[in-house]
Chains A and B, each alone.
Chain A
Amino acid sequence: MKHARIQHRGQVLDVTVNDDGNILMADGTPLDAGQVTWLPPATGTMFALGLNYADHAAELSFKSAPKEPLVFVKAPNAYTGHDGYSWRPDNVDYMHYECELVAVIGKTARNVSRADALEYVAGYTLCNDYAIRDYLENYYRPNLRVKNRDSTTPVGPWIIDRSQVPEPNNLTLRTYINGELKQEGTTADMIFDVPFLIEYLSGFMTLQPGDMIATGTPKGMADVQPGDVVDVEIEGIGRLRNTMLSESEFFKNAKEQSS
């Protein structure tokens, strides 16, 4: 089953999406996809991984793979839904996408072992963990100005039940800009997998239902520009679309929506 959150006629609804792609309300009534705004399917804390694919770490000129996960934290201001908009600041040289498998926590997890960890996963979604390399500083790197910008982490479209993803460690990830394939990799190359990360994080803190673990991205970075349509896709999970706006377009739209 695929579970999504949408906005329809001003209301936030929990819906399901069937195998034909139809959006169904709780009572089974179908909704016209054209009338729906997709919201992030979970709103807890996102724990995101840096350098969690050996090929990507090499691409960023790290000599050896990390021995301990590099985890950073995102807050809900950063999330935006499927078919939404992100923005590229003016005067930056390099903003890139990152296609990532996201595990969504289903029940409170504290001191959970690797062997039991998947029982605490409700399902999977995907995210596009955009980054702006111009803003990297060597303090709490990757810093919030790179990774926690308004609407710059698309998440969704839905959460697919864990039972429907029997092999999360063998999924192909792809990113397209304007339909052109730019990034391709497999979750088989992940350094720290989902059970390891749940054991690691829950070993020092409590994970809550709705928290998310974004598991990092393989190699294949490319710059994105205003007007680009960026799709991140994971086999068996879904395809998440985002359109890049310029800074002035994004804030003009935000102002019109709030007035």
Chain B
Amino acid sequence: MRHALVEINGEPTAVTVDGDRPRRADGGPLAEDQARWLPPVSGTVFGIALNDRALLESHLDSFNQPPYEKPPTKPVLFIKTPNTRNGHRRPVARPAGERLQPGPSLGVVIGKTASRVSEADALAHVAGYTVINEFSLPEDSYYRPAVKAKCRDGFCPIGPWVTDAADVGDPSGLGVRLTVNGELRQEGNTGNFVRPVARLIAELSEFMTLHEGDVLIAGVPAGRVDVEPGDEVAVEIDKVGTLVSLVTEEDTTRKGDRP
């Protein structure tokens, strides 16, 4: 089963999805233009950087030098703040004067409180999986927290829906593809993770309780590309779904508390 959150007449409404079409609680379909897709989750979004083997290996030479001194020993984590959350088929603004890079990733949606769970029990705490596009400015260093690169408004499209964990099964062999205007530009597989999903949950929950609705951005593959205003960017993950974003130019006139 696929679960989504859509805005109907201004109201966020939980729906199920049949194919790629949301259905009302009474089972009737919704026309595409009647429903605006919202992020299907609302908890804390934790990102795991450098969880793709090829990406980590490409940096190992520099990671043995200052300022790093040695490769990371624990998961390299960041937080996508609530202002970054964005829905399916929504605009993502390229900041003025900056380069913008999508980050295709499996999203792991927590289903029940996980504190200090073992790797063997970890997947029992997963409600399902979603698609994430972890937009970022290019990272030329991993030394300091990437707040300026990653916490911009709308930089974390999530969705369109959450697919039940039971419908996905083993999350470790899923193909992840990024297309820009229909052309394949970046590719990975969740089987190439440095730490598989179960191990991530075990290691994170050692010091942070994961709550229902929290999401892990499990890992972006090597080879981020630049996108331009006007581009249609899609992230496709086997068995989970396809998430589309529309790149626009930043509105530099936005000020103060005006929405």
Whether A76 lies near B44 (C-beta < 8 A) is yes
Within B185-227, the residues touching A (CB, 8 Å) are 207-209, 211
Whether A150 lies near B208 (C-beta < 8 A) is yes
Within A106-122, the residues touching B (CB, 8 Å) are 107-112, 116, 120
Closest residue of chain B to A132, judged by CB? B207
Q: A109-B257, A140-B142, A254-B115 are in contact. Are A72 and B76 (CB under 8 A)?
A: no
Closest residue of chain B to A116, judged by CB? B256
Whether B83 lies near A138 (C-beta < 8 A) is no
Whether A111 lies near B256 (C-beta < 8 A) is yes
- Contact partner of B68 (CB less than 8 A), chosen from A75, A116, A138, is A138
**B54 interface contact, C-beta 8 A:** no
Closest residue of chain B to A201, judged by CB? B147
Q: Give chain B residues whose Cβ lies under 8 Å from the Cβ of A140.
A: 49, 76-78, 142-146
Whether A73 lies near B81 (C-beta < 8 A) is yes
Other contacts beyond A45-B82, A77-B209: 18, CB < 8 A: A73-B81, A73-B145, A73-B151, A74-B79, A77-B44, A77-B208, A77-B211, A109-B257, A110-B153, A120-B257, A137-B73, A138-B68, A142-B145, A143-B76, A144-B208, A149-B208, A205-B153, A254-B115
Whether A137 lies near B255 (C-beta < 8 A) is no
Q: Give chain B residues whose Cβ lies under 8 Å from the Cβ of A144.
A: 46, 77-79, 208
* A124–chain B nearest beta-carbon distance, Å: 20
Whether B116 lies near A208 (C-beta < 8 A) is no
**B138 interface contact, C-beta 8 A:** no
Whether A208 lies near B74 (C-beta < 8 A) is no
Within B146-160, the residues touching A (CB, 8 Å) are 146-148, 151-153
Closest residue of chain A to B259, judged by CB? A108
**B95 interface contact, C-beta 8 A:** yes
CA–CA, A111 and B152, complex, Å: 12
Q: Give chain A residues whose Cβ lies under 8 Å from the Cβ of B142.
A: 139-140
Q: Give chain B residues whose Cβ lies under 8 Å from the Cβ of A251.
A: 115-116
What 9 pairs between A and B have smallest CB-CB spacing? A144-B77, A72-B145, A75-B44, A139-B76, A73-B79, A108-B257, A138-B68, A111-B255, A149-B207
B-binding residues in A (CB < 8 A): 44-45, 47, 70-78, 89, 107-112, 116, 120, 135, 137-145, 148-150, 204-208, 251, 254, 258
Q: Is the interface of B mostly helix, strand, loop or mixed?
A: loop
Whether B83 lies near A208 (C-beta < 8 A) is yes
* A70–chain B nearest beta-carbon distance, Å: 6
CA–CA, A258 and B114, complex, Å: 12
Q: Give chain A residues whose Cβ lies under 8 Å from the Cβ of B83.
A: 205-208
**B33 interface contact, C-beta 8 A:** no
Q: Give chain A residues whose Cβ lies under 8 Å from the Cβ of B79.
A: 45, 73-75, 144, 148
- Contact partner of B145 (CB less than 8 A), chosen from A71, A110, A120, is A71
CA–CA, A208 and B257, complex, Å: 10
* A57–chain B nearest beta-carbon distance, Å: 14
Whether B143 lies near A139 (C-beta < 8 A) is yes
* Most-contacted residue by chain A among B74, B153, B207 (CB, 10 A): B207
* A43–chain B nearest beta-carbon distance, Å: 11
Closest residue of chain B to A68, judged by CB? B148
- Contact partner of B144 (CB less than 8 A), chosen from A70, A205, A207, A208, is A70
**B26 interface contact, C-beta 8 A:** no
Closest residue of chain B to A78, judged by CB? B208
CA–CA, A229 and B147, complex, Å: 33
Q: Give chain A residues whose Cβ lies under 8 Å from the Cβ of B145.
A: 70-73, 140-142
* B80–chain A nearest beta-carbon distance, Å: 9
CA–CA, A243 and B207, complex, Å: 18
Q: Can you list 15 A-B contacts with CB-CB less than 8 angstroms, sorted by A residue number?
A: A71-B147, A71-B148, A72-B145, A73-B81, A75-B208, A77-B209, A112-B256, A137-B74, A140-B144, A149-B207, A150-B209, A205-B151, A205-B153, A206-B83, A208-B82
* B109–chain A nearest beta-carbon distance, Å: 16
* B236–chain A nearest beta-carbon distance, Å: 28
- Contact partner of A141 (CB less than 8 A), chosen from B113, B144, B255, B257, is B144
